[in-house]
Chain A
Amino acid sequence: MKKAVIIGAGMTPVGEHWKLALRDLAVEAVFNAMDDAGIDKVYSLYVGNMISGPFVEQENLGSLIADWAGLGNIPAVKIEAACASGGAAVQEGVKAVLSGLEDVVAVVGVEKMTDAWPNDATRYLAYAADAEWELFHGASFVALNALVMRYYMKTHGYTEEDLALFAVNAHTNGAKNPYAMFKRSIKLETVLKSPYIADPLKLFDASPVCDGAAAVIITTPEKAKELGVPKEKWVEVAGMGRAIDTINLANREDLLTLKAAKIAAERAYKMAGVEPKDIDFFEIHDAFTIMAALSLEALGVAKKGDGAKLAREGQIAIDADYPIQTMGGLKARGHPVGATGVYQTVEAVLQLRGEAPNQVPNAEVGLTQNIGGTGSNITVTVLRRV
């Protein structure tokens, strides 16, 4: 079987970019990734984006971005899988390379969220939920996660403080990432004293509304050699998996199991030939602190119900057994929804090249996990140092 390697990675800082449009962010990220690889041509573009239509009245992002980045008359499409759009776009790019149909592929994830009023942004994000049976009743995305959070705390005997530890860890790491939206560490009390937005979920349990773009260049080892990209830059996409679950939270078989993540992870581990203990760091989808806990369980890092315990026992820090959110995660780096999965990939690439500002010592294998909907569409990707 062919192999796929990432040879270039780039991003823009995450934040409130009042002066930049969606296209500006995307083009900057694509240029950064191409410059990083040292190439001036790509043959295909995949755009990870969730809701550009409602947010900035722009669809057809394949044409827009390829055109504005001067990529020529190449095939270019938008990939949408709610907040997992970025992760899905990376996987589509890898699939194109592995199939042999395309050989130098650019993937960019982009989202421009600050051009909308806050309540409208809340509404657009809820488009990933079930419109007729969730949004119809006034459910926001935060509210659906809050329902899971309360049930998790009740079922496994956790407090708001236990989950807040995930936010503290994310900020500790994000403080060192120059591209993060929040480059500052926080205290546990900061999380606990922040206002409820959907009880028991507080402002600091949630990732921010923001703008950003990240990009990677994917090709085969043969082509990378031909292009003269030094081997130190290569990172292999060793395994990937993707699965869905019921779109409607109420229809779940088990509210506290991210079944889609479990299935996606099993596929990715099998393809890469690794187990959770072989992974040196995890970039998981902590859009809400509860999702960090459930993700660790679904990825096989913690037993069911023990996800939050890992935070309490200090096992998720950079120098611990299971480092997560090494660059701040969604909570501190920021969560420009459709771009997030690509940011995670770029951050994993930096870790595996040994170039991360918050380096995990001797990182050889990393994992990214990107969640769309309330656990309804999930990608898991395993990356390995070449």
Chain B
Amino acid sequence: MSRPMQVSRYWRHFREKYRLIGGKCENGHVHFPKRPICPVCGSREIEEVELSGKGKVLSWTIIRNPPSGFEYYKPYPLALIELEEGPIVLAQLTDIDPEEIDFGMEVEVVTKKIREFEEDGIILYGYKFRPPVK
């Protein structure tokens, strides 16, 4: 499934996906991804904030029947991670044995390849999470 005309659709989110840029309203509520209006207080005064990328596993699954385009990775772990700034983020876990994943496990962000479109197609990168490298 090659979609060369969709490049712009992906580069629009480079900053969020490479550097975990979220939003912070004037009252200090942090969210991810950045929204036009604060979901907590309704303020439209939102500034960008780079999140630390440190968090804990809230829940996880192992995907065995992936949507098309992700067959290459199967099976792969997907998790909800609660970041230390508060927001929850959905991402794949990487560099980990699925048996070792547990509730509350500490993880950190890492930039990885998310998907590849055929031989001459574009390659998408973004955040995944892994156990902290000491």
Contact = CB atoms under 8 A, between A and B. Distances in A.
Contact of A198 (B65, B68, B89): B65
A224 interface: no
A132 interface: yes
A154 B101 CA distance: 14
Interface in B79-101: 79-80, 87-92
B14 interface: no
A150 B62 CA distance: 11
B15 interface: no
Interface in B49-86: 58-71, 73, 76, 78-80
Contact of B62 (A120, A151, A199): A199
B88 A250 contact: yes
Contacts of A197: 64-65
A251 interface: yes
Contact of A143 (B31, B61, B69, B114): B61
B13 interface: yes
B19 interface: no
A143 B78 contact: yes
Contacts of B66: 119, 122, 138, 140
B91 A137 contact: yes
Contacts of A199: 61-62, 64
B88 A139 contact: no
B75 to A, nearest CB: 9
A199 B92 CA distance: 14
A135 B67 contact: yes
Contacts of A142: 63, 65
Main secondary structure of the interface of B (DSSP, over half): strand
Nearest to A196: B64
Given A133-B33, A137-B78, A250-B88, A122 B68 contact: yes
- Size category of the B interface is 20 to 34
Nearest to A150: B59
Contacts of B60: 147, 150
Contacts of A195: 64
A316 B87 CA distance: 37
A150 B63 CA distance: 13
Nearest to B71: A119
A380 interface: no
Contacts of A146: 61
Given A147-B80, A199-B62, A136 B67 contact: no
B62 A198 contact: yes
A147 B89 contact: no
A236 interface: no
A132 B33 CA distance: 10
B115 interface: yes
Given A119-B66, A135-B67, A249 B80 contact: yes
Nearest to A148: B59
Interface string B6-38: 000000010000000000000000010100000
Contact of B65 (A119, A132, A154, A200): A119
Contacts of B103: 154
Contact of A138 (B58, B59, B80, B114): B114
A178 to B, nearest CB: 30
Given A119-B67, A142-B65, 14 more contacts: A123-B68, A126-B67, A138-B69, A138-B115, A140-B65, A140-B66, A140-B67, A147-B80, A150-B61, A151-B80, A198-B62, A251-B31, A255-B59, A255-B80
Interface of B: 13, 31, 33, 39, 58-71, 73, 76, 78-80, 87-92, 103, 114-115, 124, 126
Smallest CB-CB A-B distances: 3 pairs: A123-B67, A146-B61, A151-B59
